[in-house]
Structure 1
Amino acid sequence: MNLKSGWNRRSFLSTLGAATGSLFANPKLHAAKSKASAHGVDGSPIVPITSGLGSTGDIYAELGVKPLVNIVGTVTVIGGSVMKPEVMELIRRGNEHFVLIDELEIAAGKFIAKLCKSPEGYTGLVTGGAAAAMVVGYAAMMTEDLEPRMKQVPDTTGFPRTEVIIQKSHRYNFDHQIRQTGAKLIEVETREEMIAAINPKTLAIHFTNIQSNMGKVSGPETVAIAKAHNIYTFNDASADVPPKERLWEYPAVGFDMVTFSGGKDICGPQASGILIGKEELIRWSLLNMSPQEDRIGRCCKVGKETIFGLLKALELFVNQDYDAVLRMYDARAQVITDAVKKFGVTALPRKFDPQALGNVTPHYSWQIDQTKLKITAQEVMQQLADTPKLGIGSFGAGAAGMRGRNPDAPQHPEGEAPRPRRNRPAPDPTTFGFAVWQIKDGEDKFIADRLVEIFKAAPKA
């Protein structure tokens, strides 16, 4: 047998490329081919599962895990958000073919830039979440397109610029993603301190958007200072849409890179993020992440399915009628109000600040008449969470997730609870409430029915 015929991996791919090129050049042929092979392409068929995991129709029960109705919000520890049917469909279609991921990412970036009205010279990148965008973004600033540096990160020995200025009030759990690149954070408080901290080692100024009201230097001031000293700026706005306008307003301020979460109210895949920035920086970011190997961002892998799902979710989000969305939220809350009012539980005015920083959504609350029922708001929320088979909320669960041991933590005498955090008022024991933005169709009725059960069983005053 002659195995030296020249038929190798490269020639096979070239032949395949020519074949697929001619196929896609003829739309009629492609359409006919698609119909003929609709059930022969990986990812196309939707098939029933008759054995093994999923065969009962309740995959959570099969694993012994209780799912939740989300009245908490778009927090990662309970899964972020639920994707819309159109997003799931594009994820399925994204699984139909193989593709060069870098090529897909570049095309997706152009789609993002156009949809999000990005400034001239900006483009986008689909990342494995906003935290991943920070990793590859800061790596990009330090390495540029230099191969030796990209292989060396997070060891930044010999790098010319590795210091990132951050306002002390902007320090948060996610500056860990800056530090993991090997960059060094320099804390400042005032505008004067920020300018004084700039030196030849300064790489960038980091801006934490959700905490911008806590700092003394605004976003536009930060950008102006950085531009005057020829250093970069990065704005982490992961939780700051809606309103959708922020997708183009923040880059327009002049930040070199801005990141948004794809798995919060945009309702894309939970492990997705959007990085919008200057074309050169985005190119360097892609060089620092998967599918490239021997990179700090190799673990920040984004699949073709995630890219397509995120793009569709973003398109739906940008084109939505948010006034109609608010009316839907009000209607869901009204279902609950109508069910509980007979127990002396009354709805309070909804709270909604459309310009709030982070997780912008209406909050609905209800007050318990203590002359009719002997039950506290905390007890109501706990019983919702304890609902069998399908919990409602996750009362008592930490938003930051699991924590390890801290041998250096102060010890409290047995039976004595830790002191509560400062500047946080004690909750009103007569009032419970939550957001309804992540509940699915029909879950408003489920919550209402469960509250009726709770109030029926509650001791009467």
Structure 2
Amino acid sequence: MNLKFGWSRRSFLSMLGAASGSLFAGREAKGSELLVGEHEHSLSKIDGNPIVPITTGLGSTGDIYAELGVKPLINIVGTVTVIGGSVMKPEVMELIRRGNEHFVLIDELEVAAGKFIAKLCKSPVGYTGLVTGGAAAAMVVGYAGMMTEDLEPRLKACPDVTGFPRTEVIIQKSHRYAFDHQIRQTGAKLIEVETREEMIAAINPRTLAIHFTNILSDKGKVSGPETVEIARKHGIYTFNDASADVPPVSRLWEYPAIGFDMVTFSGGKDICGPQASGILIGKEELIHWALMNMSPQEDRIGRCCKVGKETIFGLLKALEIFVNQDYDATLRMYDARAQVISDAVAKFGVKAQPREFDPQALGNVTPSYSWMIDSSKLAITGHEVMLQLAATQPVGIGSMGADSGGMRGRNPDANSDKSTAKAAKPKRAERAAKNPNTFGFAVWQLKEGEDKIIADRLVEIFSAAPKA
């Protein structure tokens, strides 16, 4: 199919919707067969109705983004929260729909889901799981649980931890990051250290735990196993934030097996579950205390970390698919997507660079694809190409502002607006300055057919680019 970008926004999205609809149709038919005959549930599906057409109000035009005046994006950035994380598979969407069929005691469902997670993720004996409202929420309720235990006065008081016996969390200075805010919001106090000796010396009767930021493992002087060893000897907890660190899938069981008391993974990254979901795997008692600190419980610090029944079912299905996938086949799919783009731009002298892939990278593990522009033929930089992709209508291809979105606060101590702007300069722009003739992006979150859309758009860009 030769896609033209002169289409209207609605016709463009309708085409994508039709493609998705055909995929859903097959899945839906197969899924519906499970609802009849010997598998039919005795309860009526009052709320979990099949997908129905919307004929009035929001959604009736078939283009909900246009109705709200928001420009949708083709994701070439990666599994970042600011553009929606990842896209759920049809089976996950179906489980979300089925999760809406009945009311249920959320705590009971969470406990059952935790057992499902523990079995699927080969968790150590005595460990279980918890579906949270993202990995950040897992940190909030996890650390709150460590401090409050099951004591009602503490549960109600947190984050006012006055009188709590242990409220200090040791963290390597090199492991400080934006998400340790979630530890601090529980009332816990972070104690920075740099070496193993400093870590041991910092332990005192008020020490609660040692926090380990997995994606920064190579930046610190104390490894994960060493952290666990030190904590065990001194009777304190350990928490490993491995939010973006699967694949490889084996990390789901390798990190708990090291002995971390709690490990969290994001459900909305490559696991492709609901964006507002996370997984907390840990010792049963600690997970119980964490659940006591979160919704549906009231008067708790984690009441705002609400997880619905639909999200729980969606996350479980996404995790099941993720664990059971053939990752070699997944990599071949990524390569095929990149090849579609490479074939389209080759006639302009734009050459594909060798694929870069480190399966043991610490976070956001995925192949990296890039292309080199022949500056003797085209007078356009890689950065300019990325800008034009982002400016594509009616659907943008990536976003040059994905890491800020206009939501950075003002710095009252800054000397001028220019200094603030410089501090907020995207890393992508810095890379482009170093490699002006190259451009690259992620292909792992593309939906079927979007590689062809990108290829066609690049053909337009290079056809219109000035000759060198």
CA contact (8 A) 2:85 2:275 kept: yes
Query: How far 1:57 moved relative to its partner?
Result: 0.4
Match of 1:440 in 2: 447
> Are residues 1:100 and 2:105 paired?
yes
SS in 1 for 2:467: coil
Which of 325, 328, 342 pairs up with 1:323? 328
Structure 1 residue aligned with 2:213: 208
The whole-number CA distance in structure 1 between the counterparts of 2:426 and 2:101 is 51
RMSD: 2.0
Q: Which residue of 2 aligns with 1:407?
A: 412
Find the residue that maps to 1:269 and give its secondary structure: coil
Equivalent-residue separation in structure 2 for 1:416 and 1:65 (angstroms)? 25
Correspondence 1:312 to 2:321: no
Q: Is the 8 A contact 1:412 1:418 kept in 2?
A: no
Determine the C-alpha separation between the residues in 1 that align with 2:105 and 2:426.
50
> Offset of 1:408 from its aligned partner?
1.2
Q: Indicate yes or no: 2:49 matched with 1:44.
A: yes
* Aligned equivalent of 1:20: none
* Cα drift, residue 397 of structure 1: 3.1
- The answer as to whether partners of 1:122 and 1:278 remain within 8 angstroms in 2 is yes
Shift of 1:411: 2.3
**Structural mapping, 1:36-185, within 5 Å:** 37=44, 41-185=46-190
Contiguous gaps of at least 5 residues in structure 2: 1-35
Out of 354, 358, 364, the position equivalent to 2:363 is 358
CA contact (8 A) 1:112 1:124 kept: yes
**1:406 Cα deviation from its structure 2 partner:** 1.5
Which residues of 2 match residues 257-272 of structure 1 at below 5 A?
257-272=262-277
Deviation at 1:72, TM superposition (A): 0.2
| Alignment CA distance shift 1:378-1:68 (3 Å) | same
User: Residue 411 of structure 2 contacts residue 420 of structure 2 at CA under 8 Å; is this kept in 1?
Assistant: no
Q: Once the two structures are superposed, what CA deviation does each residue of 1:196-229 show, in whole Å capped at 9, x if it has no partner?
A: 0000000000000000100000000000000000
Distance 1:165 1:32, change over 3 A: closer
Alignment match, 1:31: 40
> d(CA) in 2 for partners of 1:66 and 1:263?
21
Matched, 1:386 2:383: no
Letter of the structure 2 residue corresponding to residue 337 of structure 1: S
Paired with 1:113 and 1:203, the residues of 2 have a C-alpha distance of 25
Asked if 2 retains the 8 angstrom alpha-carbon contact of 1:75 and 1:399, the reply is no
TM-score, length of structure 1 as denominator length: 0.90
Question: What's the TM-score once normalised by structure 2's chain length?
Answer: 0.89
C-alpha distance in structure 1 between counterparts of 2:270 and 2:207, whole Å: 34
Match of 1:294 in 2: 299
State how far apart, in whole Å, the 1-side matches of 2:342 and 2:77 are. 18
The AA in structure 2 aligned to 1:285 is: A
Corresponding residue for 1:193?
A: 198
- Supply the distance in 2 between the matched residues of 1:214 and 1:392 (Cα, whole angstroms): 33
Percent identity reads 82
CA apart distance, 1:31 = 2.4
Q: C-alpha displacement at 1:398, in angstroms?
A: 1.8
| Cα distance between partner residues in 1 of 2:295 and 2:238 | 23
Could you say if the C-alpha distance between residues 287 and 419 of structure 1 is closer, same or farther in structure 2, counting changes exceeding 3 Å? Answer: closer
Give the Cα–Cα distance (whole angstroms) in 2 for the partners of residues 237 and 258 of structure 1.
7
Corresponding residue of 1:250: 255
Change (3 A) 1:223 1:360: same
Distance in 2 separating the partners of 1:235 and 1:267: 21
Change (3 A) 1:349 1:50: same
Contact preservation (8 Å) 2:263, 2:280: yes
Q: SS of 2:434's equivalent?
A: coil
CA distance in 1, matches of 2:180, 2:142: 13
Contact 2:379 2:465 in 1 (8 A): yes
C-alpha deviations, 1:52-81, integer Å up to 9, x for none?
000000000000000000000000000000
Whether the aligned pair in 1 keeps the contact of 2:414 and 2:420 (CA below 8 Å) is: no
**Residue pair 2:238, 2:262 contacting (<8 A) in 1 also:** yes
Report the secondary structure of 2:216's partner residue: helix
* Structure 1 gaps, min length 5: 1-26
Whether the 8 Å contact between 2:239 and 2:262 is mirrored in structure 1 is yes
What is the rounded CA distance, in whole Å, between the counterparts of 1:308 and 1:323 in structure 2?
27
**Distance across 1 between alignment mates of 2:101 and 2:426:** 51
Q: Which amino acid aligns with 2:40?
A: A
Asked whether the 8 Å contact 2:92–2:314 carries over to 1, the reply is yes
Matched, 1:451 2:458: yes
Looking at structure 2, the residues matched to 415 and 313 of structure 1 have their Cα atoms a distance apart, in angstroms, of 40
What is the CA deviation profile of residues 395-453 of structure 1, one whole-angstrom value per residue up to 9, with x for unaligned ones?
A: 1332687112111123266999569799x764301000011000000000000000000
Which one-letter code corresponds to 1:382 in the other structure? L
Measure the CA separation in 1 of the matches of 2:166 and 2:215.
Answer: 27
Residue aligning to 2:32: none
The answer as to whether partners of 1:118 and 1:251 remain within 8 angstroms in 2 is yes
User: Aligned residue pairs: how many?
Assistant: 430
Aligned pair in 2 of structure 1 residues 414, 169: CA closer, same or farther (>3 Å)?
A: closer
Q: Please say which structure displays the higher CA radius of gyration.
A: 1
